[in-house]
Amino acid sequence: MENYLKNYPITQTAIQLGDREILLTIVDDPDHFLDKLSREDSKGTLFLPYWIYLWESAIGLARHVSKIRKTFSDKYILEIGCGFGLGGIVACQAGAKVIFTDFEYDALLFSKHNAQQNGINSAIFVQMDWNAPCFHSKFDVILGSDVIYEEQNWQPILCLLQSLLADEGIALFSEPNRKNADGFFRCIRENGFDFEKSTCSISLTQRTTSINIYTIKRV
Contacts with ligand SAM by CB under 6 A lie at: 50-51, 54-55, 57-58, 81-83, 102-104, 107, 129-131, 145-147
- From residue 92, give the alpha-carbon distance in Å to each of 54, 75, 113, 121: 19, 9, 14, 10
Residues 78 and 169 sit within 8 Å (Cβ to Cβ): no
Q: Which is nearer to ligand SAM, 81 or 169 (CB)?
A: 81
- The sign of the dihedral angle between the CA atoms of 106, 125, 161, 66 is negative
Beta carbon nearer to ligand SAM, 97 or 133: 133
Give whichever of 177 and 194 is closer to ligand SAM, judged by the CB atom. Answer: 177
Residue with Cβ nearer ligand SAM (99 or 147): 147
Nearer to ligand SAM by C-beta: 99 or 107? 107
Provide, rounded to whole angstroms, the least separation between the CB of residue 215 and ligand SAM: 17
* CB burial readout 10-21, b (16+ within 10 A) else e: eeeeebebeeee
Distances (CA, A) of 104 to 36, 52, 183, 214: 15, 10, 26, 25
Give the CA dihedral 91, 145, 102, 141, nearest 10 degrees. 40
Residue 130 C-beta: closest distance to ligand SAM, Å? 4
